Copies of this chain bind each other. A is one copy, B any other.
Amino acid sequence: MLDLKADNQNVDVLMMDIGRKARAAARPLAIASTAQKNRALQAMAEAIVAAQAVILTANRLDLDNAAKAGLIASQIDRLTLNEERIAAMAEGIRMVAELDDPVGAVIAAWDRPNGLQIERVRTPLGVIGVIYESRPNVTADAGALCLKAGNAVILRGGTDSVHSSRAIHACLLQGLEVAGITDYAIQLVPVTDRSAVGSMLTGLDGTIDVIVPRGGKSLVARVQAEARVPVFAHLEGLCHVYVDASADLDMALKLVVNSKMRRTGICGAAETLLIDKAAVATHLKPLVEALSAAGCEIRGSSAALKAVPGLKLATEEDWRTEYLDAIIAVTIVDGIAGAIDHIGRYSSNHTEAVIAEDAAVVERFFAEIDSAILLHNASTQFADGGEFGMGGEIGIATGKMHARGPVGVEQLTSFKYRVRGTGQVRA
């Protein structure tokens, strides 16, 4: 594999070549059979299991470099592979093999009065560009999902995980070879230059159909600002939980603590708790105590502080902050209308939950809030493609175009119309 650190012009030439190869690979991939794609995926999983020692050695190298570079603990954790994580990676690929093949599925079909039979059929998108940071497992996840949906993929992993990603990519190539699929179906950008990302964001002369960034907010913000092709992403998950006066208190305690504290660093973690003013006397104090007991810092509005003295005072900034940490902002709202207003003002349109027994409240929440995922009496941490039963996901999107919510294999497809006639002409 190349280890080129070249000037920008050479990187551009290299990237354009990668784009052309991906586009050429997309045509045969679009008509590859389900059996052929699944054979490749199964072989990839086997290759990863067989190459465990090689992958761990490569990961050791990345970890040594990371220690020297002074990466923080959470970055090191994301970068670290072990036997369990490698086994999970292989298992993830096998699960993608077991998913239904979306390509060729008839999404809708109808006949016209003149006898024309119209079908809307799923097709691959073409070429997906995936730009990620330190998690080496994205190499396997994204490679497998894109292949299953019949797309060529260009993977641009982080510099920190370059050796791990290359070792995993080598296993993916083995799988492609076993199934007789071109190497160019899954390409890993061989250079670590930052300008390679810039090249990808231009779309590589029309060869990239969509970009999926996987990483922190600064990466996603750069991609959203600079990309000249569509992007599937969420900038942040500023998720709200609204506790209505009709909420069952025991359920609310369980759901709020899980929504916030199960894992605080994921996009589906709750960041703001909204309490119905009619529930202040009954629900607020127990909720605050349960969160505190679970190790959560609580920042309350002045109204919340009046009801539960001793809380830290929240500022305007708190309503706009995705903590990704054991901190929650709490305020009191005027029923469902107040909750809808607050969420309309501050939400990132990712995921919001309502805890209520009043069906009318739930219906208003579902109808009037336009976030990608709305939950009733369930934890916000279910915002995940696997939990939705989609098998895997390449990310979660908050845009309104094409893909929204978890982006699984189906969302990595487009469609076309097939029309069958018997000689019809238009009058």
Contacts and interface: CB of A to CB of B under 8 A. Distances in A.
A177 interface: no
Interface in A377-418: 377-379, 381-382, 387-389, 400-402, 404-405, 414-418
Given A389-B118, A421-B375, A421-B376, A416 B426 contact: no
A323 interface: no
Given A370-B123, A370-B416, A402-B401, A381 B421 contact: no
Interface string A242-272: 0000001001001100100010000000000
Contacts of A254: 423, 425
Nearest to A405: B417
A389 B112 contact: yes
A422 B247 CA distance: 11
A286 interface: no
Interface residues of A, number: 59
B262 A426 contact: yes
A379 B254 CA distance: 61
Nearest to A259: B425
Contacts of A258: 425-426
A125 B400 CA distance: 6
Contact of A377 (B400, B405, B414, B422): B422
Given A110-B389, A379-B425, A379-B426, A416 B420 contact: no
Interface in A111-166: 112, 116, 118, 121, 123, 125-126
A423 B255 contact: yes
8 contacts: A27-B344, A209-B400, A251-B423, A258-B426, A366-B418, A378-B419, A401-B414, A405-B416
6 A-B pairs closest in CB distance: A378-B421, A258-B425, A400-B414, A402-B402, A381-B426, A251-B423
Interface of A: 27, 30-31, 104, 110, 112, 116, 118, 121, 123, 125-126, 209-210, 230, 248, 251, 254-255, 258, 262, 344, 362, 366-368, 370-379, 381-382, 387-389, 400-402, 404-405, 414-426
